[in-house]
Structure 1
Amino acid sequence: MSAPRHPSTLPTVAALAVAVLAVSSSAPLIKFAAAPALAVAFWRNGLAALALTPVACGPRRGELRDVLRGVRRRDGMFCLLAGVALAAHFATWMPSVQLGSVATATALVATQPVWQGLIAAAQGRRPTVAGWCGIALAVAGAAWATGVDVGVSGRAVAADVLALLGGMFAAVYTALGERARSRLSTTTYTWICYGTCAVLLLAICLAVRLPLTGYNPRTWAAILALVVGAQLLGHSMFNYALHRTSATTVSVLILLEVPGAAALAWVWLGQAPDAAALPGIALLLAGVAVVVLGGGLRRDARDATASLADAADPAPR
């Protein structure tokens, strides 16, 4: 029998499950949208920040006021830096999806746990041997399942490099978010972070004169789906979970986006996965299981370990 649940277990597990499902739709929607990737990234973050404004400026206005007035300057700095890292992530990964394939871009950005592990080690929170083994298995599985386009064409190489950079910036964003979320509410953190990201992306779009309007209805529908799904339910739920779960664990769980995105791309965009990729997907999932069930990552809160163990336990309750 499993250990008794801490009261915070179910919300954390539910947040992680919803987040994985939501972010899996991201790459197929980006590929589907007939608009510049940076413009889609701007609308995705700008509309998400707008949707959070009533709560941030309402129930959370006291906390937000302290941050904006400099009373909580350190917390505000982490929010701003996370927004910069998030903008860099979107500015690299989203174009890679449109330049290359959904599967390859998603797999290469999934190298995030490697960079996240290095960041955690630098912070003195080194993963255990099981953690490193799980990360290695998961990343190897992602690479096996989707393949790499290096050498195919200049366009494919550019897409691969951008996706790899996107994984690096995602690791930085997650690590900074973990620091900010330790003292701030999810709403305040995400409102500042998404707002900062949107402002930076808007500046880039205006500088290079990318069209921000005039899209067809299907593209606007895809953008709205990105806002509601991958952004508000995906990133925001991961940010919520960061309050009780380490950034490295969240980064590893994000690897589940790889088979999810591949499945959606197959059903929706007709990008059928190669049969040779199936063992890689199984290896990826095995790596995640090693990290979660093997206690591969050190965390400050013991109940976070219990919550993720419960999440990985398929037995009915």
Structure 2
Amino acid sequence: MPAEPHRPPLDLLTTGALTLAVVAVSSSAPLIAFAAAPALAVAFWRNLIAVTALSPFALVHRRAEFRWLAGAGRRDAMFCVLSGMALAAHFATWMPSAKLTSVAAATALVATQPVWQGLIARAQGRRLPLGVWAGVGVSVVGAMLATGADFTVSGAAFAGDLLALAGGMFGAVYVALGERARATVSTTTYTTICYGVCALILLVVCLVGRVPLGGFDTGTWLAVLALVAGAQLLGHSMFSYALRRIPATTISVLILLEVPGAALIGWAWLGQLPAPATLPGLALLLAGVAVVVLSSARTARRASSAPTTVATPVRD
């Protein structure tokens, strides 16, 4: 059975990047709730503006890498493109799901992402520690309790539930493909390609679905820019950076910290005080994340003490 791929040791910079990413993605739901625009339009603009901001730097400083991806590295470029497609599918399924089913049910079902991530890792031949599986289960249950999942039986709600579940699956595929791409491709180049592909697909979806892409008020555009700076560039991009040193399954569990983070921001900014009944779920979610992180750290220490072969150089 294939072993877990060799990774550089976790450093202070990566820990800081993960902390920043969790805080940044926690702002996503409150900003989307504040923005008076269709969710798919917001998703399109956040990706387009992000890739517009990244492209000048990438094209100036990563030209050699782009040439390599266009030639000998075409297989690696394919993983960047496929990751962008999966990210677009994640946005296109999860964000509309909240319009069909309850926000609580949609959030709970998309929170199954770590389960799908673990299954993907298992399909890749990796043996995940029992502690990781236990932590994944505890954190997902905690996320469901924290969101107060209230599933209904209407046809529209059932369709929304399926879309939210698909959103969690596509989110796991996006992170898994990103993990593969980041083994050889720099963060800047990977995110530029990924966000560009995602924006292009979402543009087609919005045009076909006749989703309005303009005519929004100033507050909405400011919310979109805040999403770009926070959830997109400091959130998704920092998680992508950390994929060099942190397994995709652990990243997916850490993303669940968005649930309590968004609750705190929603309380401080929008005055949406979390219901007391959600507090046990939040505590369970945090406990599950802690179990996954500690179990992964133990596994990494064992792997670092074992003899390893020389790894292929990778870029930050």
For residue 59 of structure 2, what is the aligned residue in structure 1?
Answer: 57
2:101 is the counterpart of 1:87: no
Amino acid at match of 2:114: P
Q: Give 5+ residue unaligned stretches, structure 1.
A: 1-5, 304-317
- What TM-score does the superposition give when structure 1 sets the normalisation length? 0.88
CA distance in 1, matches of 2:36, 2:298: 41
How far residue 111 of structure 1 moved from its aligned partner, in angstroms, is: 1.1
CA distance in 1, matches of 2:301, 2:181: 16
8 A contact 2:250–2:296 mirrored in 1: no
Summarize the alignment of residues 88-103 of structure 1 with structure 2, pairs less than 5 Å apart. Answer: 88-97=89-98, 103=104
How far residue 154 of structure 1 moved from its aligned partner, in angstroms, is: 5.2
Summarize the alignment of residues 54-133 of structure 1 with structure 2, pairs less than 5 Å apart. Answer: 54-67=56-69, 69-97=70-98, 103-133=104-134
Amino acid at match of 1:118: L
SS at match of 1:148: coil
How far residue 21 of structure 1 moved from its aligned partner, in angstroms, is: 0.4
Query: CA, structure 1 residues 272+158, in 2 after alignment: closer, same or farther (shift >3 Å)?
Result: farther
- What TM-score does the superposition give when structure 2 sets the normalisation length? 0.88
Q: Give 5+ residue unaligned stretches, structure 2.
A: 1-7, 305-316
For residue 183 of structure 2, what is the aligned residue in structure 1?
Answer: 182
- CA-atom RMSD, angstroms? 2.1
8 A contact 1:112–1:168 mirrored in 2: yes
Query: CA, structure 1 residues 159+218, in 2 after alignment: closer, same or farther (shift >3 Å)?
Result: farther
Deviations 1:95-125 (A, max 9, x none): 2345566554333322110000000001111
For residue 289 of structure 2, what is the aligned residue in structure 1?
Answer: 288
CA distance in 1, matches of 2:243, 2:287: 23
8 A contact 2:113–2:168 mirrored in 1: yes
How far residue 281 of structure 1 moved from its aligned partner, in angstroms, is: 0.6
Deviations 1:19-39 (A, max 9, x none): 000001111111211111111
8 A contact 2:84–2:198 mirrored in 1: yes
CA distance in 2, matches of 1:152, 1:221: 37
How far residue 165 of structure 1 moved from its aligned partner, in angstroms, is: 1.5
Deviations 1:254-294 (A, max 9, x none): 11111111222233334332211111110110011111113
How far residue 156 of structure 1 moved from its aligned partner, in angstroms, is: 4.5
How far residue 71 of structure 1 moved from its aligned partner, in angstroms, is: 2.2
How far residue 162 of structure 1 moved from its aligned partner, in angstroms, is: 2.4
Q: Which moved more, 1:133-142 or 1:206-215?
A: 206-215
For residue 220 of structure 2, what is the aligned residue in structure 1?
Answer: 219
CA distance in 2, matches of 1:232, 1:93: 20
CA distance in 2, matches of 1:185, 1:111: 28
2:225 is the counterpart of 1:252: no
Deviations 1:51-92 (A, max 9, x none): 10111101111101221x232111000001000000000111
Summarize the alignment of residues 109-188 of structure 1 with structure 2, pairs less than 5 Å apart. Answer: 109-151=110-152, 156-188=157-189
Summarize the alignment of residues 230-245 of structure 1 with structure 2, pairs less than 5 Å apart. Answer: 230-245=231-246
Amino acid at match of 1:32: F
SS at match of 1:295: helix
For residue 26 of structure 1, what is the aligned residue in structure 2?
Answer: 28
Query: CA, structure 1 residues 296+110, in 2 after alignment: closer, same or farther (shift >3 Å)?
Result: farther
8 A contact 1:126–1:298 mirrored in 2: no
8 A contact 1:31–1:98 mirrored in 2: no
CA distance in 2, matches of 1:92, 1:273: 26
CA distance in 1, matches of 2:143, 2:79: 30
SS at match of 1:57: helix
- Fraction of identical pairs, as percent: 66
Query: CA, structure 1 residues 194+109, in 2 after alignment: closer, same or farther (shift >3 Å)?
Result: same
